[in-house]
C-alpha cells in the first residue's frame, strides 16, 4: 500500500500560496494596495455566505456588512452569541509593547513562528502580528471591558512560549467578552438589514458551480427541512475538529462536518494531524464524561507544576515534603520554567505519568500548586487573578484549590490543521474562504496561548474584508439561483440520501458509543506521542469502526423533526472518515515537530526532532473518493527572515 | 472526587414540536455518580431511552463549562437548580441525595415559546440586543486602545455587567417573566464606559421599548432574577437602567 502519492516534480499550481513579493514588513501594505477594489455602489450586488458566528465568523459577517455587502450568516446554536469562541479564557496577544519589556511586531511574529516549530507560513504570521495591535484598538472601541491598572490603562499578563507580557485579558472570560463584542457588531448589522441571520442551521453540503463556491445546503435543526442558499462567495468559519477525539475541551456541537464537506468537494485539507493537546485541563474521571474542562494556561504564571520524585508515591500532596517533590518543568527548562509552550508542557506531563509519578486516583494527573503564590501575594491577590477559574475547578471536582493543589492533565484543545488557504485565506476551491480555527494558516505545529483569539479576529475584521473584495472584483459571475440550479438540486439529493441512509441502518448501538470508541483509538494511537506501528494499527481500527457504524448504528426519531441523535450521527460519521485522514497525515510526516511527536524522531533529551530537509512543508490532502487514500500535495515552506533552529526553552 | 452512586426518579417535561400541551413523564436514573454534571446524568438517561427505542429528551447544551448560556431548565422549581451561581451544566450530582425525585421543566415565559421538550426559543433576547445593545463603531477607525484611560473600578463594574451569558434564567425565574436583568446588564455595561456613553440615552429607550414589545413582563422588584442568575449579575444594574431610562425620557 502506498500511503500517498509524491508529486515533488511538478509545480502544484493549485497550491500557489500567493505570498506577495517584497520585504516581509511591507508585504501586506503593498498587497492591500494591489488588490482590486469593489466600487462602493456595487458592493450591495454581492451576497456573501458566512458559516459560523465565532470570533472569525461574527467579525467577518459584521465587517463585510459594514462595507456594504449583503451577508447571510449561519450558526448551529440558537444564537450567534454562543459559538465556542465564548469559552476561551486566558487572553489575546498583541504587540503593543505597553509593558515596555522589549516586545515588538517582529518579536510576536518570531515567537509565533518558533512556537509553531517552524511549520507555518512566514508572510501570514507576520501579517497576524501586524494586525494584532489594530484588534485591541477596535475591541476597546467596541466596549470590551479589558482588565486595567490603577491608572486606567490596559493591563497585560504573560503566557506560555513568550518572555514578554503581551496578553490582554478580561478576567478568565476574554473569549466571552471578545465574542460578545463581535456579536454586538453583528446584531447592529442585522438591525440595519445588511445581515440576515440563520440560527439553528447546520451546513450539510457546499455547492460548487463552474468551479466556484456558490452556495450551501443546510439542515434546519428545528424542523429538519433541507434548505439551500446561494451567494457569490462562501466563507467558512466553522472552528476546529478536536471532538474527533470525543473527549476534548471543545463544545459538544463543535464538529468537522462543514470543513469535511468542503474537502470532499475539492478543498485540500492541510496538516490534519496537528492537534493541540493542552496541558492544563481537569483530568478524566469516568466513562460517562461528556467533555473535558480547560483551566486557563494563565494559571501557569503563578502555579508550579510538580509530581512526587518517587514513582508510585501515593501520599497526599501535603504529606510530601519539599525535598521529595520534582518541579520537573522548572528543573528541565530553567529559563521558561512553568511557561514553556503547550506541546512541551503536555508531553512532559505524560512523560512523568508514564514513569509512574502521576498523582490522583488514576495516576493520570500532575499537581499545579498555588501555595507559593498564596504565601507570597496573599489569597486575595491570587483570587483576584484566578478567582473564577478556582471556583470552576471546585464546582467540577469538589476540591478547593486554595487548600490543596489542583490536579491537571493534558486534553485535546485546538486544531492547528484545517482547510488549506492561500494568503487571501481562499481554499483550493475558488470563492471558498476559510477563517479562524477552520483554516490551517498561522500556528504551524503548535499554537501559543492567546493566539487563537488574535487569529480569529484578524481573519474576520482585518483580512477577509480586503481579500474577498479582490476576488469579487476580479471575477465574472454567472447567474446562479438556488431554486433552479442543478447543482443545488444535486446537493439536496445528496443530503437527503445521507440522512435516509443513516436512519435506515436501524442497528443496535448508539451514536455516542461509536464516538467514545473512536476517541479512545485516537487518544491512544494518534495523541501526544505517536509511532508508525500504532498509527497503522489505528488506521485499520478506525476503518473497521466506520464499517460497523454504517451496519449497526441506531438513530431514534425521524429526519423532519428536531432530532439531536441524527445531528450527532452525521457529525460522528464525518469524524470517522476524517480520523483516517488524520492518521494518514501523521504517518506521512516522518519527523517530530510541535504537537506531532513521533517517538522514532526525538533528540537525546526527548525533544521533538524536526527534519527540515524533507518535511519543511505543509501537507495538503486532496480527496480521492470513497475508501481511497487521499492524494498528497506539498506546499514547501520558505524561511527568508528567520533561521530554522532547534526550539529551546531551557 | 466521589465514588458513591445514587438512584433518582425524574419527572421530565415532554412536549412534541407543534403540540400545544406537554406532560411530565417519569424516568429512572440509576447508578449516577456524584462527579457527573446534571447534563451528563441526562445523557445517561437518554442513552438508556435510545437503547429501549424511545426518543431521548431534547435539551439545549453546548460548551458544558458554564459560559455559552445554551443550557438551562427549571429543576424542582429553580432555574438551573438550587446551587448558587451555577449553570445547569455545572450543577453536579453530588448535590443530590439517593432516592430524590427531580422535576425538570423548560423555561416558562410567553416570550420563550417551547420548541420541543426542554428546548425553548430565546431569539427574543437577540432581538433586544439588535435594538441597541452595541456601540456604533465600524471596523477600522479606532484610536489607540490606551487613548482613553478608564478607571479600574469602572472597568470592573462594566465587566461584571458584561459577564451575562444570555441564558434566560432571569426571565424564567421572574414571576412576571421580565427581562429587566438581561437588558439592564447590557445597558449598564455600555453606559458605564466612556465609549458607550454617547449613545446611552438612545440605547436605553430603544432596548426598553423592544423588551416591552416582545411580550416580557414588567419588573416588580421580586429579585428572583438576581437569586437565580448563574453569573451573579446584580439588580443594581436594574436601578442603573431605570436611572438611564428616566434620564433619557426627561432630557
| CA dist., res. A496 & res. A501, Å (int) | 8
pLDDT number for residue A11: 54
Q: Directed axis angle between helix A257-264 and helix A564-588, to 10°?
A: 60
Query: In this predicted model, which residue has the larger pLDDT, A46 or A288?
Result: A46
A381 has a chain B CB within 8 A of its CB: no
Alpha carbon distances (Å) from A42 to A68, A70, A482, A536: 9, 11, 22, 53
Nearest CA in chain A to B53: A556
A400 has a chain B CB within 8 A of its CB: no
CA-nearest of A357, A451, A475 to A46 is: A475
Of B123, B138, B196, the CB nearest to A143: B196
Q: Which residues of A351-371 are buried (b: 16+ CB within 10 A; e: fewer)?
A: ebbeeebbbbeeebbbbbbbb
pLDDT of A422-436, one tens digit each? 999 999 999 999 999
Contact A618, A612 (CB under 8 A): no
Span between the terminal Cα atoms of chain A, in Å: 42
On whether the B123-250 domain is CATH 3.20.20.70, my answer is no
Q: A266 in helix, strand or coil? A: coil
pLDDT number for residue A387: 85
Q: How many Cα atoms occupy the beta-carbon half-sphere of A586 within 13 Å?
A: 32
Going by the DSSP 8-state scheme, the letter that residue A355 receives in this structure is T
CA dihedral (A89, A94, A97, A101) in degrees, to 10, reads: 50
A225 has a chain B CB within 8 A of its CB: no
Residue B102 predicted with pLDDT over 60: yes
Q: Which of A82, A119, A342, A571 is catalytic?
A: A342
The DSSP H or E segment spanning A554 is none
B140 has a chain A CB within 8 A of its CB: yes
The DSSP H or E segment spanning B103 is strand B101-105
pLDDT number for residue A386: 86
Q: B94 in helix, strand or coil? A: helix
- Judged by CB atoms closer than 8 Å, whether chains meet at A252 and B152 is answered as no
Domain(s) of CATH 1.20.58.100: residues in chain A:
490-613
Can you tell me the mean pLDDT for B190-211? 98
Q: Which residues of A571-590 are buried (b: 16+ CB within 10 A; e: fewer)?
A: bbbbbbbbbbbbbbbbbbbe
- Judged by CB atoms closer than 8 Å, whether chains meet at B159 and A177 is answered as yes
Can you tell me the mean pLDDT for B146-150? 97
Cell numbers 486557563 correspond to what residue? A296
Alpha carbon distances (Å) from A14 to A34, A267, A429, B77, B210: 21, 10, 9, 59, 50
Residue B190 predicted with pLDDT over 60: yes
Residue A153 predicted with pLDDT over 90: yes
How are strands ordered across the β-sheet holding A432-434?
A195-198, A70-74, A47-51, A233-236, A432-434
Overall fold of domain A490-613: Methane Monooxygenase Hydroxylase; Chain G, domain 1 (1.20.58)
pLDDT of A472-528, one tens digit each? 999 999 999 999 999 999 999 999 999 999 999 999 999 999 999 999 999 999 999
pLDDT number for residue A2: 38
Question: What is the ipTM metric for this complex?
Answer: 0.98
pLDDT number for residue A9: 45
| A166 φ/ψ angles, rounded to the nearest 5 degrees | -130, 15
Mutation site, B45, B65, B125, interface A, largest A CB count within 10 A: B65
A278-410: which CATH architecture? Answer: Alpha-Beta Complex (3.90)
Cβ count within 10 A of residue A37: 14
Mutation site, A187, A220, A292, A507, interface B, largest B CB count within 10 A: A187
| A288 φ/ψ angles, rounded to the nearest 5 degrees | -80, -10
- Judged by CB atoms closer than 8 Å, whether chains meet at B35 and A286 is answered as yes
Domain ranges of chain B: 5-105, 123-250
Q: A305 in helix, strand or coil? A: strand
Can you tell me the mean pLDDT for A213-242? 98
Give the confidence band of A6 by pLDDT, cuts at 50, 70, 90: very low
Residue B2 predicted with pLDDT over 60: no
CA-nearest of A621, A597, A620, A619 to A609 is: A597
pLDDT of A75-113, one tens digit each? 999 999 999 999 999 899 999 999 999 999 999 999 999
- Judged by CB atoms closer than 8 Å, whether chains meet at B155 and A147 is answered as yes
Chain A residues 588-647 with a CB less than 8 Å from chain B: none
pLDDT of B29-78, one tens digit each? 999 999 999 999 999 999 999 999 999 999 999 999 999 999 999 999 99
pLDDT number for residue B3: 61
Q: Which residues of A62-94 are buried (b: 16+ CB within 10 A; e: fewer)?
A: bbbbbbbbbbbbbbbbbbbbbbbbbbbbbbbbb
B251 has a chain A CB within 8 A of its CB: no
Nearest CA in chain B to A184: B134
- Judged by CB atoms closer than 8 Å, whether chains meet at B166 and A143 is answered as no
CA-nearest of A328, A31, A360, A357 to B1 is: A360
The Cα of A145 is separated from the nearest Cα of chain B by a number of Å equal to: 5
B209 has a chain A CB within 8 A of its CB: no
Residue A382 predicted with pLDDT over 70: yes
Pairing of the two strands A195-198 and A165-168: unpaired
Question: Is A342 a catalytic site residue?
Answer: yes
The Cα of A545 is separated from the nearest Cα of chain B by a number of Å equal to: 19
Chain B residues 165-194 with a CB less than 8 Å from chain A: 165-166, 189-190, 193
- Judged by CB atoms closer than 8 Å, whether chains meet at B136 and A137 is answered as no
B17 has a chain A CB within 8 A of its CB: yes
Length, in residues, of chain B: 251
pLDDT number for residue A288: 86
Cβ count within 10 A of residue A606: 15
Q: What share of chain B is helix, strand, coil (3-state, %, to 5)?
A: 40, 15, 45
The Cα of A564 is separated from the nearest Cα of chain B by a number of Å equal to: 7
- pTM value surpassing 0.90: yes
Overall fold of domain B5-105: Ubiquitin-like (UB roll) (3.10.20)
Amino acid at each position: 500500500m502506498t500511503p500517498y502519492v509524491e508529486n515533488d516534480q511538478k509545480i502544484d499550481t493549485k497550491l500557489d500560496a500567493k505570498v506577495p513579493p517584497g520585504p516581509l514588513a511591507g508585504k501586506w501594505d503593498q498587497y492591500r494596495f494591489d488588490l482590486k477594489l469593489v466600487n462602493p455602489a456595487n458592493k450591495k450586488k454581492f451576497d456573501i455566505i458566512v458559516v459560523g458566528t465565532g470570533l472569525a465568523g461574527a467579525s467577518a459577517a459584521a465587517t463585510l456588512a459594514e462595507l456594504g455587502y449583503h451577508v447571510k450568516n449561519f450558526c448551529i446554536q440558537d444564537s450567534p452569541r454562543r459559538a465556542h469562541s465564548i469559552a476561551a479564557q486566558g487572553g489575546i496577544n498583541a504587540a503593543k509593547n505597553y509593558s515596555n519589556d522589549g516586545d515588538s511586531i517582529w518579536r510576536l511574529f518570531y515567537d509565533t513562528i518558533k512556537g509553531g516549530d517552524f511549520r507555518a507560513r512566514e508572510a501570514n504570521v507576520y501579517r497576524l502580528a501586524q494586525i494584532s495591535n489594530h484588534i485591541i484598538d477596535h475591541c476597546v472601541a467596541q466596549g470590551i471591558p479589558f482588565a486595567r491598572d490603577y491608572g486606567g490603562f490596559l493591563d497585560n499578563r504573560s503566557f506560555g512560549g513568550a518572555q514578554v507580557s503581551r496578553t490582554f485579558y478580561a478576567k478568565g472570560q476574554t473569549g466571552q467578552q471578545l465574542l460578545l463584542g463581535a456579536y454586538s457588531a453583528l446584531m447592529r448589522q442585522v438591525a440595519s438589514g445588511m445581515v440576515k441571520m440563520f440560527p439553528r442551521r447546520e451546513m450539510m453540503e457546499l455547492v460548487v458551480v463552474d468551479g466556484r463556491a456558490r452556495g450551501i445546503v443546510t439542515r434546519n435543526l428545528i424542523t429538519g427541512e433541507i434548505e439551500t442558499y446561494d451567494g457569490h462567495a462562501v466563507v467558512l468559519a466553522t472552528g476546529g475538529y478536536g471532538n474527533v477525539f470525543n473527549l476534548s475541551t471543545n463544545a459538544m456541537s463543535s464538529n468537522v462536518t462543514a470543513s469535511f464537506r468542503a474537502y470532499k468537494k475539492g478543498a485540500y485539507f492541510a496538516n490534519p494531524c496537528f492537534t493541540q493537546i493542552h496541558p492544563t485541563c481537569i483530568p478524566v474521571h469516568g466513562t460517562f464524561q461528556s467533555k473535558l474542562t480547560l483551566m486557563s494556561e494563565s494559571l501557569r504564571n503563578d502555579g508550579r507544576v510538580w509530581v512526587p520524585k518517587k514513582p508510585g508515591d501515593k501520599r497526599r500532596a501535603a504529606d510530601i515534603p519539599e525535598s521529595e517533590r520534582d518541579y520537573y518543568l522548572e528543573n528541565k527548562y530553567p529559563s521558561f520554567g512553568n511557561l514553556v509552550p503547550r506541546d512541551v508542557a503536555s508531553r512532559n506531563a505524560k512523560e512523568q505519568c508514564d514513569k509512574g509519578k502521576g498523582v490522583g486516583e488514576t495516576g493520570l494527573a500532575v499537581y499545579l500548586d498555588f501555595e507559593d503564590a498564596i504565601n507570597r501575594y496573599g489569597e486575595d491577590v491570587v483570587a483576584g487573578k484566578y478567582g473564577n477559574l478556582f471556583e470552576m475547578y471546585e464546582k467540577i471536582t469538589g476540591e478547593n484549590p486554595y487548600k490543596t493543589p489542583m490536579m491537571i492533565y493534558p486534553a485535546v484543545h485546538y486544531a492547528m490543521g484545517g482547510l488549506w488557504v492561500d494568503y487571501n485565506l481562499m481554499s483550493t476551491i475558488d470563492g471558498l474562504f476559510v477563517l479562524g480555527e477552520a483554516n490551517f494558516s498561522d500556528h504551524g505545529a503548535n499554537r501559543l496561548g492567546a493566539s487563537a483569539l488574535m487569529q480569529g479576529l484578524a481573519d474576520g475584521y482585518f483580512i477577509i474584508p480586503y481579500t474577498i473584495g479582490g476576488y469579487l472584483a476580479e471575477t465574472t459571475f454567472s447567474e446562479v439561483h438556488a431554486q433552479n440550479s442543478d447543482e443545488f438540486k444535486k446537493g439536496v439529493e445528496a443530503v437527503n440520501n445521507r440522512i435516509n441512509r443513516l436512519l435506515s441502518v436501524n442497528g443496535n448501538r448508539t451514536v455516542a458509543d461509536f464516538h467514545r470508541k473512536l476517541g479512545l483509538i485516537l487518544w491512544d494511537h494518534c495523541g501526544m506521542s505517536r509511532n508508525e506501528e500504532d498509527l497503522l494499527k489505528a488506521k485499520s481500527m478506525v476503518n473497521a469502526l466506520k464499517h460497523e457504524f454504517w451496519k449497526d448504528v441506531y438513530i431514534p426519531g425521524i429526519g423532519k423533526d428536531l432530532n439531536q441523535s441524527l445531528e450527532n450521527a452525521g457529525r460522528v460519521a464525518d469524524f470517522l472518515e476524517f480520523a483516517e485522514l488524520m492518521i494518514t497525515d501523521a504517518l506521512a510526516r516522518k519527523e517530530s515537530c510541535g504537537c506531532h511527536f513521533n517517538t522514532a524522531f526525538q533528540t537525546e533529551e526527548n525533544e521533538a526532532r524536526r527534519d527540515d530537509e524533507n518535511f519543511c512543508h505543509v501537507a495538503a490532502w486532496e480527496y480521492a473518493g470513497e475508501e481511497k487514500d487521499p492524494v498528497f500535495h506539498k506546499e514547501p515552506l520558505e524561511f527568508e527572515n528567520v533561521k530554522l533552529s532547534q526550539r529551546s526553552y531551557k | 472526587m466521589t465514588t458513591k452512586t445514587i438512584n433518582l426518579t425524574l419527572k421530565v417535561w415532554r412536549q412534541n414540536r407543534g403540540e400545544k400541551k406537554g406532560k411530565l413523564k417519569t424516568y429512572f436514573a440509576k447508578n449516577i455518580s456524584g462527579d457527573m454534571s446534571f447534563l451528563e446524568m441526562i445523557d445517561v438517561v437518554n442513552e438508556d431511552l435510545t437503547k429501549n427505542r424511545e426518543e431521548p429528551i431534547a435539551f439545549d447544551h453546548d460548551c458544558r463549562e458554564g459560559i455559552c448560556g445554551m443550557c438551562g431548565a427549571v429543576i424542582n422549581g429553580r432555574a438551573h437548580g438550587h446551587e448558587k451561581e451555577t449553570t445547569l451544566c455545572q450543577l453536579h450530582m453530588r448535590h443530590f441525595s439517593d432516592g430524590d425525585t427531580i422535576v425538570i421543566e423548560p423555561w416558562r415565559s410567553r416570550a420563550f415559546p417551547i420548541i420541543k421538550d426542554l428546548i425553548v426559543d430565546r431569539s427574543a433576547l437577540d432581538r433586544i440586543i439588535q435594538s441597541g445593545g452595541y456601540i456604533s463603531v465600524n471596523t477600522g477607525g479606532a484610536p489607540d486602545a490606551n487613548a482613553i484611560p478608564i478607571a479600574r473600578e469602572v472597568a470592573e463594574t462594566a465587566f461584571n455587567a458584561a459577564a451575562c451569558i444570555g441564558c434566560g434564567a432571569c426571565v424564567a425565574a421572574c414571576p412576571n417573566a421580565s427581562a429587566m436583568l438581561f437588558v439592564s446588564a447590557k445597558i449598564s455595561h455600555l453606559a458605564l464606559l466612556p465609549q458607550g456613553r454617547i449613545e446611552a440615552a438612545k440605547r436605553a429607550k430603544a432596548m426598553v421599548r423592544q423588551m416591552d414589545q416582545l411580550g416580557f413582563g414588567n419588573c416588580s422588584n421580586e429579585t428572583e432574577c438576581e437569586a437565580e442568575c448563574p453569573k451573579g449579575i446584580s439588580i443594581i444594574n436594574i436601578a442603573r437602567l431605570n436611572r438611564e431610562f428616566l434620564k433619557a425620557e426627561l432630557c
